[in-house]
């Protein structure tokens, strides 16, 4: 509460919060009263709604808004098993490949190099999200087929990007992991549909997404029943233009 808050204003805020179903604990100091708000059962509103009431200084959230994505829910972590490849286990699994599939020859040469270098998963785009409509937009299903054949020929798993709900069935047919690109990290229609897919989802971090927003996006997929979400840190946008993105430590 503000320093200038009256007793009546404090009472009003307490009543509203209790009306929503929260338990309210008061800490009264010489200058200021702080209200601790805790929910023990079902409640009917977001406590931040009281921020507009008279006498309220600010509302400070204390716990994370995500549930299924939190360590509290799954303390042992997640291991995703694709036959002999275990993502999230003791081994570091590398995924590598070309930005986009361009030709049979290029894709096969890439897959051979990727295998030789010790990676386990081929990556490559058939649908490309391009900032400019004038850039190459990908080969579509032809590209997926090339990538699938090259992965198989070199005993690699395949991950490729899906950009829209209408592409899910197609991308699922050819790949082992479906990738959500940084630009689609908050395409909630897409995320929700991917919650019903039975293949892992690789979720790239949005270029300016906070870690909280990223985990909330994972929550959309997890909430649909697909518990196999891989988080891909790809760097964030900052004032520094020396590198394309600023990598964030994991």
Contact 138, 148 (CB under 8 A): no
**Residue 5 binds its own copies, judged by CB under 8 A:** no
Q: Which two tokens stand for residue 10?
A: 């404090």
The nearest distance, CB 147 to its own copies, in angstroms, is 20
Beta-carbon contacts of 185 under 8 Å, excluding residues fewer than 6 positions away, are: 203, 204, 205, 206, 209, 213, 214, 217
**Residue 18 binds its own copies, judged by CB under 8 A:** no
The nearest distance, CB 233 to its own copies, in angstroms, is 11
How many residues line the site for its own copies (CB under 8 A)?
68
**Residue 199 binds its own copies, judged by CB under 8 A:** no
Sign of the CA dihedral with 245 first, then 192, 131, and 157 last? positive
The nearest distance, CB 231 to its own copies, in angstroms, is 13
As a whole number of angstroms, the distance between CA 91 and CA 101 comes to 28
The residue with tokens 């030709």 is 103
| Of 171, 121, 162, residue with least CA distance to 141 | 171
Query: Which residue, 6 or 210, is less far from its own copies as judged by CB?
Result: 210
Query: Which residue, 170 or 211, is less far from its own copies as judged by CB?
Result: 211
Per-residue binder mask for its own copies (CB under 8 A), 92-131, x = binder:
-------------------------------------xxx
Residues 21-40 that bind its own copies (CB under 8 A): 23, 25-30, 32, 34, 36-40
**Residue 3 binds its own copies, judged by CB under 8 A:** yes
Contact with its own copies (CB under 8 A) among 18, 54, 155, 238:
238
The nearest distance, CB 135 to its own copies, in angstroms, is 8
The nearest distance, CB 48 to its own copies, in angstroms, is 11
Beta-carbon contacts of 72 under 8 Å, excluding residues fewer than 6 positions away, are: none
Beta-carbon contacts of 28 under 8 Å, excluding residues fewer than 6 positions away, are: 34
Give the CA-trace dihedral at 11, 15, 17, 20, to 10 degrees.
Answer: -170
As a whole number of angstroms, the distance between CA 239 and CA 187 comes to 25
**Residue 140 binds its own copies, judged by CB under 8 A:** no
As a whole number of angstroms, the distance between CA 67 and CA 65 comes to 7
Stretch binding its own copies (CB under 8 A), from 87-95, 110-118, 149-157, 158-166: 158-166
Residue 121: Cβ-neighbour burial (10 angstroms; 0-12, 13-18, 19+): buried
| Interface contacts to its own copies, rule CB under 8 A | 3, 23, 25-30, 32, 34, 36-41, 46, 57-58, 60, 62-63, 65-67, 72, 129-135, 163-166, 183-184, 186-190, 192, 207-208, 210-213, 216-217, 219-220, 223, 236-243, 246-249
């Amino acid at each position: 509460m503000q320093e200038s808050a009256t007793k009546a204003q404090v009472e009003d805020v307490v009543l509203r919060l209790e009306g929503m179903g929260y338990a309210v604990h008061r800490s009264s100091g010489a200058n200021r009263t702080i209200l601790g708000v805790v929910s023990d059962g079902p409640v009917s509103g977001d406590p931040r709604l009281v921020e507009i009431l008279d006498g309220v200084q600010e509302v400070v959230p204390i716990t994370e808004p995500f549930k299924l994505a939190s360590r509290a829910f799954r303390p042992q972590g997640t291991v995703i098993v694709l036959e002999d490849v275990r993502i999230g286990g003791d081994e570091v699994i590398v995924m590598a490949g070309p930005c986009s599939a361009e030709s049979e020859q290029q894709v096969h040469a890439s897959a051979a190099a990727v295998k030789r270098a010790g990676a386990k998963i081929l990556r490559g785009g058939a649908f490309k999200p391009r900032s400019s409509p004038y850039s190459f937009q990908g080969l579509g299903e032809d590209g997926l087929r090339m990538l699938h054949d090259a992965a198989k020929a070199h005993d690699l798993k395949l991950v490729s990007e899906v950009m829209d709900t209408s592409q899910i069935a197609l991308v699922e047919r050819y790949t082992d992991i479906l990738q959500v690109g940084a630009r689609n990290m908050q395409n909630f229609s897409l995320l929700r549909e991917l919650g019903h897919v039975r293949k892992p989802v690789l979720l790239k971090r949005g270029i300016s997404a906070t870690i909280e927003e990223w985990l909330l996006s994972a929550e959309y997929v997890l909430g649909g029943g697909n518990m196999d979400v891989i988080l891909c840190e790809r760097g964030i946008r900052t004032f520094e233009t020396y590198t394309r993105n600023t990598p964030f430590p994991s």
